[in-house]
Amino acid sequence: MTIFVTTPFRTYAWSWLGLLALGGVVTAVVLTGILRRPVIAEDETSLTVDAAVRLQDLRIAMPAGYAVPVVFDPMTGNAQPPGYAPWLIGYAALAVVTQAVAGFVSWRRSRAILSGA
């Protein structure tokens, strides 16, 4: 949004805002489907398996994937406004690192659930 307000690169800003919105909608649809899915469990063991499967399914959302295309502009065409390349790369790096941390935490939780701890 800063690019839209402070530079004349309005089309560029709208295209990336559109990609960000698309990523948000897709992520929301995936997460809503996973979290609102009915729990199918007959006993404690099947409830544990359902919880582990939900954790695995949450990895499907991967919202960081929508931040990675931002890096292609600074790497290839320099179509971004002058001075914004470090911010775009930083945004993509932050999104990927956050997703990696979330994946690691989810992996540890699923291991703990499956081991019965």
Q: What's the structural domain count of the chain?
A: 1
| Rounded CA separation 116/64 (Å) | 30
pLDDT tens digits, 50-92: 887 887 777 777 777 777 777 777 777 767 677 777 887 888 8
pLDDT computed for residue 113 by the predictor: 66
What the block records as the tokens of 19 is 């990609």
User: How remote is the C-alpha of 26 from its chain's centroid?
Assistant: 10
Asked if pLDDT for residue 1 goes beyond 60, the answer is no
pLDDT tens digits, 89-116: 888 888 888 888 887 887 787 777 667 6
| Rounded CA separation 88/16 (Å) | 10
What the block records as the tokens of 27 is 């992520």
**Domain enclosing residue 39, as ranges:** 2-115
What the block records as the tokens of 110 is 């699923």
pTM of the model: 0.59
